[in-house]
Amino acid sequence: MKLTEYISCDGLGIAELIRNREINREEALKCAMDAAELLNPDINAIIELFPEPLAASDDAGAPFHGVPFLIKDLALHAKGVLNEMGSRLAQGIRAQHDTDLMKRFRQAGLRTIGRASTPEFGYCPTTEPVVNGPSRNPWDLARMPGGSSGATAASVAAGIVPLAHANDGGGSIRIPASCCGLVGLKPSRGRVPNGPDSAEPLSGLAVEFAVTRTVRDAAALLDAVKGPGIGDPFEILIPGEAYAGSMLKEPGSLKIAWMNEPWSGVEVNKEVRDTIPKTAQLCEELGHQVVEARPSLDWEHFFEATVVLWAANLAVFIDYAAMLTGRPVDEDHLEATVLACYREGKQIKAETLLRAQAAANQVCRGIGGFFQEYDILLTPTVTQPPLPLGVINANDPGLDAKAWSKRTFDFCPFTPLFNTTGQPAISLPLHRSSAGLPLGVQFAGRYGAEHTLLQLARQLEQAAPWPLNAPLLEQRS
């Protein structure tokens, strides 16, 4: 199998070739390893390639049987594999067991070939950690791939693997999907298990899943990993029909609201802003009812609560890493903004944390009311095309937690809301800038309604297909 053939396939496509014996698992693996050897020096995304892929199901009927895969070096982990979280503080930490989701990735037939970089503790919308150096966007190597799942996204967009693990506590699946031209589905809270180490990570804000090239890969993977783990604190309703099947059905005429100016008032790049009425028109042409409307949100109230929740959780996370390694929590082991946020997180009182949780609950009720009237909210995913490397600097010593969070939110004010509400949201690569850079748009749906998002996403994918990869391999050949 030639590399050009390999990168033209999504995950299900590779699995089908293996199932039909047109190629075997080892040929697919060789393509992935060859692509990594050729392309990773450019994008600096993979920090460890395993000598052998991690064990996975041998069942030829597994949906992703034999498909090469990468895991992000944060939260999810595999037994015996390093889990260093993009931090000097966490170097050498090795997982003692698989997380529930890792087990499901294996059962789905995915062959994990390595670990990909992450910003320190995932606390950044770009992937430029001091310990690993910056990961680069395969569409433009001088620009960021987004974060915090930017390295896995860059690997998929470059063509090394057709899909890869990602997680999202404020936009970290959707932001890199937008920057790298991918499909980035953040499932509903509780759809994918977080056990056994966590029940509701980041106070319920964080969700595990993946970035993919195609909508059908996202649907099939969600089928493979959905459902509660043992001891999960709650379960959400699982649809009776598989997502891969329901995705093929027409969603009917959806009521779609759109907005392209954020609640924060931060300026949105004109090319980004213009993607929304264009997308709205496309949705109208597909038979949907589309209106300009926005939910009411007290931005400052929401922002203050989110800063508290992020900082308090970060402090606990860092203390745990320090306990495992015996290293001090100081300037030699943490980047400047992460250390500042850690120190502020340590000072947060219980009553302040509880007030932040109550504020988040108020936001959920208000946004939930809006979605009683509308099926979908359409927004930009981020406010700018992928920024040059170094613009969002997590090692800036002049920022406290609030200032750092504002810098983050200025780039991605549309995504964190749906971490708070727990609703599913998806970024689709429907547009390009005048410079040829991907511009994603975000669709958020009702809680638990991934099937509606996937049906709409499939419609849009067929109506306005996007390239599966950046042209990096073509440039290197």
Active site residues per annotation:
72, 148, 172
The vertex-177 CA angle with 115 and 209, nearest 5°, equals 55
Q: Using DSSP bridges, classify how beta strands 425-432 and 183-186 pair: parallel, antiparallel or unpaired.
A: antiparallel
Would you say 184 and 166 are in contact if contact means Cβ atoms under 8 Å apart? yes
Instruction: Quickly list DSSP for 61-85.
Output: TSTTTT-EEEEESSS---TTSB--T
Residue 349 burial by Cβ neighbours in a 10 Å radius (0-12, 13-18, 19+)? exposed
- What sign does the CA torsion over 179, 183, 188, 194 have? negative
Cα-trace Rg, the chain: 20
Burial 429-449 (b: 16+ CB within 10 A, else e): bbbbbeeebbbbbbbbbbbbb
Peptide bond into 196 cis (omega under 30): yes
Query: Given its phi and psi angles, is residue 384 left (phi above 0), alpha (psi -120 to 50 degrees) or beta?
Result: beta
Q: Which of 218, 241, 297 is nearest to 456 (CA)?
A: 218
Positions of E strands within 24-129:
46-49, 68-72, 111-116
Quick one: tokens of 68?
Answer: 């090469």
Q: Which of 103, 182, 189 is nearest to 417 (CA)?
A: 189
Cβ neighbours for 298, distance < 8 A, ≥ 6 positions apart: none
Burial 1-27 (b: 16+ CB within 10 A, else e): eebeebbebbbbbbbebbbeeebebeb
